[in-house]
């Protein structure tokens, strides 16, 4: 079977707010799935459920066919699911290298030496190697986003979850980041990417899902999804 992540009828509410409502979704091995939807559609909640930092009220989450609904966040990381945050959260008091090393040494890596090798490799991939000894707290936004990506990659994930990683960047920076993410994809990582910057998303993903009010409204070919009347009405208002 080809799917790495499967959500089966997953619901999550916070008090009276229904963030996700009976959502089913699957991600195939090596696939890049884009997620769009207005603010509050439940996109980040979905990512947190897959990453294990939240647990669903109903439904199941499968990783490579195995039920991981109740596995802890660090357990998810060790399974090979890594995420980046919308607002980068580096360990500010540690250097860039140490930040990445933490991810590498507690992921699937074996020895300390191997972890260091992974960390150097990942920093080179995202273009942060020359900043390796800088304190992470002092990095500017683009570099924080790159670090966020590097740290997630250091755990050698099979599934990478990106939460609006292009948000807040200038146009040239977005293009640079897209190039980096395409490179990551070449290393056969499956990807779930939430993004408001649609052209960045379309440059990478194979399939697109649109969410609204915690439900899936359209799914399929990226261009077709963006052109669909459902997505147009959500983004541009009814009757558009």
77 binds other proteins (CB under 8 A): yes
**Closest CB 108 distance from other proteins, rounded Å:** 9
Of 93 and 229, CB closest to other proteins: 93
Q: Is residue 120 within 8 Å of 127, Cβ to Cβ?
A: no
86 binds other proteins (CB under 8 A): no
Rounded Cα–Cα distance for residues 151 and 159 (Å)? 14
14 binds other proteins (CB under 8 A): no
* Residue 207 β-bridge partners: 33
Please report the DSSP string for 131-144 in residue order.
GTTSBGGG--HHHH
- Choosing from 9, 38, 92, 229, the residue that interacts with other proteins (CB under 8 A) is 92
Considering only residues 197-236, where is the footprint of other proteins by CB under 8 A? none
- Choosing from 11, 22, 28, 78, the residue that interacts with other proteins (CB under 8 A) is 78
- Choosing from 30, 40, 59, 73, the residue that interacts with other proteins (CB under 8 A) is 73
53 binds other proteins (CB under 8 A): yes
Considering only residues 139-158, where is the footprint of other proteins by CB under 8 A? 151, 154-155
In terms of C-beta density within 10 A (0-12 exposed, 13-18 middle, 19 or more buried), how is residue 15 classed? Answer: exposed
93 binds other proteins (CB under 8 A): yes
**Closest CB 239 distance from other proteins, rounded Å:** 42
The residues binding other proteins (CB under 8 A) are: 51, 53, 72-74, 76-78, 82-83, 85, 89, 91-94, 98-99, 101-103, 105-107, 112, 115, 151, 154-155
């Amino acid at each position: 079977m080809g799917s790495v992540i499967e959500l089966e009828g997953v619901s999550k509410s916070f008090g009276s707010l229904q963030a996700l409502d009976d959502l089913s979704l699957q991600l195939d091995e090596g696939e890049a799935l884009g997620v769009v939807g207005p603010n509050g559609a439940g996109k980040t909640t979905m990512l947190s459920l897959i990453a294990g930092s939240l647990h669903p009220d109903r439904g199941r989450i499968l990783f490579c066919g195995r039920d991981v609904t109740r596995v802890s966040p660090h357990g998810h990381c060790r399974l090979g699911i890594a995420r980046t945050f919308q607002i980068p959260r580096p360990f500010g008091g540690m250097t860039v290298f140490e930040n990445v090393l933490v991810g590498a040494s507690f992921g699937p890596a074996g020895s300390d030496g191997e972890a260091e090798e992974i960390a150097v490799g990942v920093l080179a991939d995202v273009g942060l190697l020359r900043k390796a000894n800088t304190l992470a707290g002092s990095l500017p936004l683009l570099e924080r986003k790159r670090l966020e990506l590097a740290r997630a990659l250091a755990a050698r994930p099979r599934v990478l979850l990106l939460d609006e990683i292009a948000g807040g960047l200038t146009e040239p920076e977005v293009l640079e980041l897209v190039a980096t993410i395409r490179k990551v994809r070449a290393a056969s990582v499956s990807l779930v990417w939430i993004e408001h910057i649609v052209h960045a998303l379309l440059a990478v993903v194979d399939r697109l899902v649109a969410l609204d009010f915690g439900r899936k409204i359209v799914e399929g070919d990226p261009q077709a999804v963006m052109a669909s009347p459902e997505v147009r009405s959500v983004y541009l208002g009814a009757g558009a």
